[in-house]
Structure 1
Amino acid sequence: MRFSHQEETLEEVLEVVTDQSERNLMVYNDDFNTFEHVINTLIKVCKHNPTQAEQCTYIIHYKGKCSVKQGTYEKLKPMRNSIREAGIDAKIV
């Protein structure tokens, strides 16, 4: 079965729109990273101000996780990688 040019273009547009959907960068609690380390990492990697980073860190501690940034997968991937390199568990969901 052969698709028409218009159908192929529509399919490509749908793929691009799907890839651009908003996602969340989630950071998870652990028993070995200090508050100070997590706060400094969020300031450095996510460009949080100190108050925002501290609030996210308390949410991570008490709720087990926190969405620290929203954006496309492509935007969040380098941040996730940097947070992981700092020894903190993070996932894009």
Structure 2
Amino acid sequence: MNWDTDILHKEEVEVEVLEESTDLRSLVVYNDDVNTFDHVIETLIKVCGHTAEQAEQCTLLIHYKGKCTVKMGSYEELVGMCTALHDKDLSADIE
């Protein structure tokens, strides 16, 4: 048994798994002049699973900074949320 080869192979496998799991995307909500603070907060709670405090903080960032990353995940995890945000008339994209 060659310990060096076994360790090297294990490290290669761990790097491959790490690379696959780091393909994170951002779900970004943008400010608009239409939606109320309450509507955005309620939508983030329902769609993204935010706590009331998280949703309020994101809503303030959206308002004052123009946008906020409201969720991180794979494209597959975020696409349904992005569609649900659009259905609630929020401007959102996956970046």
Match of 2:48 in 1: 46
The aligned amino acid for 1:72 is S
CA offsets 1:23-42 (integer angstroms, 9 cap, x no match) = 00000000010000000000
* Offset at residue 86 of structure 1 (A): 0.1
Alignment pair present for 1:55 and 2:57:
yes
Secondary structure, counterpart of 2:27 in structure 1: strand
Tell me which of 81, 86, 89 is aligned to 1:87: 89
CA offsets 1:40-90 (integer angstroms, 9 cap, x no match) = 000000000000000000000000000000000000000000000000000
Secondary structure, counterpart of 1:41 in structure 2: helix
TM-score by length of 1: 0.79
The RMSD of aligned alpha carbons is: 1.7
**How far apart, in 1, do the equivalents of 2:51 and 2:76 lie?**
23
**How far apart, in 2, do the equivalents of 1:69 and 1:41 lie?**
13
The aligned amino acid for 1:47 is G
Q: Which runs of 5+ in 1 are unaligned?
A: 1-12
Count of equivalent residues:
78
Structure showing greater radius of gyration is 2
The aligned amino acid for 1:53 is A
Identical aligned residues as a percent: 55
Q: Which runs of 4+ in 1 moved over 4 A?
A: none
Match of 2:36 in 1: 34
